[in-house]
Chains A and B, each alone.
Chain A
Amino acid sequence: MAREKSSKDNAQALFHSLRSAYAATPVNLKIIDLYVGFAIFTALIQVVYMASVGSFPFNSFLSGVLSCVGTAVLAVCLRIQVNKENKEFKDLPPERAFADFVLCNLVLHLVIMNFLG
């Protein structure tokens, strides 16, 4: 009983401290996080749709899901490079990070469009 209560307390404390720590992150990073969440959500919707109607044009399904996963991953990479708290990327100007992000997205979407079929 006590253990259950303490683990529940643990979970509560975890949740609260995470929430307060997250509220302290800068706004631009929160925007990127929102974008990542949106991309993952879209990927999930596509997977659910595929589970219900079948995966016949498999290349279309793959290109849809991978475009969502790809933009999510690239946005996370951008977040890493733009985050001022990361010491490894101190010397990287944010414009360069954004330019790389745009270039990779361009390549990603060109390949997706070729793969859609």
Chain B
Amino acid sequence: MAAVANMPVSDLLKSFKLKTKQQELLIRVSILCLVYILAFITRLFSVLRYESMIHEFDPYFNYRTTLYLTQNGFYDFWNWFDYESWYPLGRIVGGTLYPGLMVTAALIYRILHFLRFAVHIREVCVLTAPFFASNTTLVAYFFGKEIWDTGAGLVAAILIAVCPGYISRSVAGSYDNEGVAIFALLFTFYLFVKAVNTGSLAWSLASAFGYFYMVSAWGGYVFIINLIPLYVLVLLITGRYSMRLYVAYNCMYVLGMLLAMQIRFVGFQHVQSGEHMAAMGVFFLMQVFYFLDWVKHMLSDTKLFQAFLRITVTCAVTVGTIALGLGMLSGYISPWTGRFYSLLDPTYAKDHIPIIASVSEHQPTAWSSFMFDFHILLFLFPAGLYFCFKRLSDATIFIVMYGLTSMYFAGVMVRLILVATPAVCLISAIAVSATVKNLTVLLRSKNKGVQTGSTKGSGSSKASSKALLDQSQPFQKNGAIALLFGAFYLLSKYATHCTWVTSEAYSSPSIVLAARGAHGSRVIFDDYREAYFWLRQNTPPDAKVMSWWDYGYQITAMGNRTVIVDNNTWNNTHIATVGRAMSSYEDEAIEIMRSLDVDYVLVVFGGVTGYSSDDINKFLWMVRIGGGVFPVIKEPDYLVNGEYRVDKGAAPKMLNCLMYKLCYYRFGEMLTEYGKPPGYDRARGVEIGNKDIKLEHLEEAFTTSNWIVRIYKVKPPNNRW
């Protein structure tokens, strides 16, 4: 009886016994599924701690446009003229944004609604970035498989799932272009490398579509259109020209360029801008190479071919330089624009374009940021480079170039650590995978050596060499085990660090602030949203709000009111006008405000809570940008001994300018900290100088519960008598 019962059980077990290949496939698929889920859930800290809302400033604009797209359809979205921002100029939204992110979110929203999931568009927007981060891990797996092998692909997927450099811009709620763009970037690169490896037109077409998606998603597509020609050039120089390369690059360039020009914001830049000329130059160079290759193939006489080669090369070089020179001199080919030129010359922005210099993400990167964002990948990166150089192929050359160029740019600008992250993860994955593979081969070889020791005489030279190796160093197996433990320890430390970084540093919504109260309890400051909802509910619908440009997107999205300047910063003079108004005396400022039809003024003040990203700390940029356009604003008027002060020793112009008055109105009576006099500014750490502030042309409309946002109403002119 027992024997009969055992039979079906052992049959069942036999049916599970898979062949090695199937076991490997099962392990791989399950690892990828777990990594996919991990990448998604590690980005959900802020949703769990606060609520499902959009973070920061730029995502609010993207949210507003996505809302418009879902409500009004694609045609209205593509041709949208927004009169609610940049009053009185307005903004041609359809032609000045990258639609990829909005269209993607709207598509996901429509699919979910088609499947009868009635989600709100805000939820879709909040979770778009983690979803695409998970997809990026899949692409990283396939890319790693293409460059090295499946082991490297798996490690790459795991590394990029938790890497803080990527998480910083793709947490849930960070509804910004980069969340989708990094996926598009890696996808395009993967498809292109696949096209170069196979020489197939279908893969090149796919990479052209990947490039189109990238162009529609982010302005950083310029990196792709310069890296790929550079890569082709390096291949040509190192003598790796091949037909596959010709097919891949040409198809991708022509189709990609055409597709990219369909985006209105990009327009004709691919044929007119200096930043895109490298791709065109390499395109013509490829034609020359192909032509020379063809002639060489047809001619049997090498001497004739040398003569022909000389003639053609001189002709091509002359024609090329003449065309380029004519284009640049006549101004038809525009030079590199400020944003990208400051990447090549980091000191350019500080002297010439203060708006670019003022953004904190555009500052050069400190070593601590690198360590913070990359951890062990920092020293695995050179190790991976070593492995790549050992096994050079078209694909490894690409990843080496991508890694080196992106690391240079990451060193110039903090924000670009994001672009370097996939390269660093892939190269480090190669190092990890190769090392672990070598170590495990050592571990397994000893057994084989013992078994086949008797058959040394027979053909298997591999086993015999392994056996030889083992005899010379008896502790190899122990060393390998120790090294493996070390490797796993490091990787687990990496995972812990990444999770800690995500939890502490990159999961704050910026619009909701949190702090620890006196007894350790958590205190939430929801002042921003309080102020915007007050605006929405208590002001006339056509009211115009003047504030510094940081808050423009949030005011239009949540407050639903017209703003004077917002984060798009496309018109420097308009921003300088607002800066001038903020830094002038009240009488001059009211003239400017009346000319702009301003009804309300909004300022952010951190003196009560100790919040340091407030308008008084940003004041120096208002002065610099305003002074850059209107010479009447002179920075030395506000400085005392070269620094900005707000206490008794401050400059008189500083103590009476509009920004100072609006921030510190009625603050002189406020007790902020025990043991300090009234009017003690906790963000600057000083007692303010001018406590008795009287406003003549404005009146206080609203101050939030923690005094973070203060709204003032512009009084209509006095009656004649």
Contact = CB atoms under 8 A, between A and B. Distances in A.
15 contacts: A10-B307, A14-B308, A22-B298, A70-B254, A76-B246, A81-B247, A85-B297, A88-B243, A89-B199, A100-B201, A104-B201, A107-B208, A111-B259, A112-B258, A114-B262
A2 interface: no
Interface in B222-265: 242-244, 246-247, 250-251, 254-255, 257-259, 261-262
A10 B301 CA distance: 11
Given A103-B202, A104-B205, A76 B290 contact: yes
B200 interface: yes
Interface string B646-671: 00000000000000000000000000
B258 A70 contact: yes
Counting from the closest, the 8 A-B pairs by CB-CB distance are A100-B201, A21-B298, A77-B247, A70-B254, A73-B250, A111-B258, A80-B243, A100-B202
B300 A17 contact: yes
B336 interface: no
A11 B441 CA distance: 61
Interface of A: 7, 10, 13-14, 17-18, 21-22, 58-59, 62-63, 66, 69-70, 73-74, 76-78, 80-81, 85-86, 88-89, 92, 97, 100-101, 103-104, 107-108, 111-112, 114-115
Given A80-B243, A112-B258, A74 B251 contact: yes
B255 A108 contact: yes
Nearest to B258: A111
Interface of B: 199-202, 204-205, 208, 242-244, 246-247, 250-251, 254-255, 257-259, 261-262, 268, 271, 290, 295, 297-301, 304, 307-308
Contacts of B297: 85
Contact of A66 (B243, B244, B258, B298): B258
A20 B254 CA distance: 33
B243 A86 contact: yes
Q: Is the interface of B mostly helix, strand, loop or mixed?
A: helix
Given A69-B254, A80-B243, A115-B262, A10 B304 contact: yes
B251 to A, nearest CB: 6
A42 to B, nearest CB: 15
Nearest to B202: A100
Q: Is the interface of A mostly helix, strand, loop or mixed?
A: helix
B258 A115 contact: yes
Contacts of A22: 298
Contacts of B208: 107
A17 B258 contact: no
A107 B297 CA distance: 32
Contacts of B257: 66
Contacts of B300: 17, 21
Contacts of A114: 262
Contacts of A100: 200-202, 205
A113 to B, nearest CB: 11
B299 A80 contact: no
Contacts of A77: 201, 246-247, 250-251
A101 B307 contact: no
B199 A88 contact: yes
Contacts of B295: 18
Nearest to B295: A18
B271 A62 contact: yes
B498 to A, nearest CB: 40
A59 B269 CA distance: 12
Nearest to A80: B243
B254 A66 contact: yes
A107 B205 contact: yes
A107 B261 CA distance: 14
Contacts of A73: 250-251, 254
A14 B304 contact: yes
Nearest to B299: A17
B520 to A, nearest CB: 61
Contacts of B298: 17-18, 21-22
A111 B270 CA distance: 15
Nearest to B208: A107
Contacts of A62: 261, 268, 271
Contact of B304 (A17, A74, A89, A92): A17
From B199, B208, B262, B297, name the one whose CB has the most chain A CB atoms within 10 angstroms: B199
From A7, A86, A89, A104, name the one whose CB has the most chain B CB atoms within 10 angstroms: A104
Contacts of B200: 92, 100
A99 to B, nearest CB: 8
A58 B268 CA distance: 9
Nearest to B308: A14
A22 B297 CA distance: 10
A115 B266 CA distance: 13
Contacts of B244: 88
B202 A80 contact: no
Contacts of A74: 201, 251, 254
A26 B417 CA distance: 53
A65 to B, nearest CB: 10
Given A10-B304, A62-B271, A81 B259 contact: no
B290 A88 contact: no
A101 B261 contact: no
Contact of A17 (B261, B262, B301): B301
Nearest to B270: A62
A66 to B, nearest CB: 6
B258 A81 contact: no
Contacts of B251: 73-74, 77, 104
A65 B34 CA distance: 49
Contacts of A14: 299, 304, 307-308
Given A17-B299, A111-B259, A97 B201 contact: yes
Contacts of A104: 201, 204-205, 251, 255
Nearest to B305: A14
Nearest to A21: B298
B258 A108 contact: yes
Contacts of B255: 70, 104, 107-108, 111
B90 to A, nearest CB: 24
Contacts of A18: 295, 298-299
B307 to A, nearest CB: 5
A117 to B, nearest CB: 11
A63 B307 CA distance: 38
Contacts of B243: 80, 86, 88-89
A89 B262 CA distance: 33
A104 B204 CA distance: 9
A112 B259 CA distance: 9
A104 B208 CA distance: 10
A70 B250 CA distance: 9
A61 B378 CA distance: 49
Nearest to B254: A70
A40 to B, nearest CB: 11
Contacts of A97: 201
B201 A81 contact: yes
A43 B646 CA distance: 67
B418 to A, nearest CB: 30
A22 B298 CA distance: 7
Contacts of B199: 81, 88-89
A88 to B, nearest CB: 5
Contacts of A69: 254
Contacts of B201: 74, 77-78, 81, 97, 100-101, 103-104
B547 to A, nearest CB: 39
Contacts of A80: 243, 246-247
B462 to A, nearest CB: 30
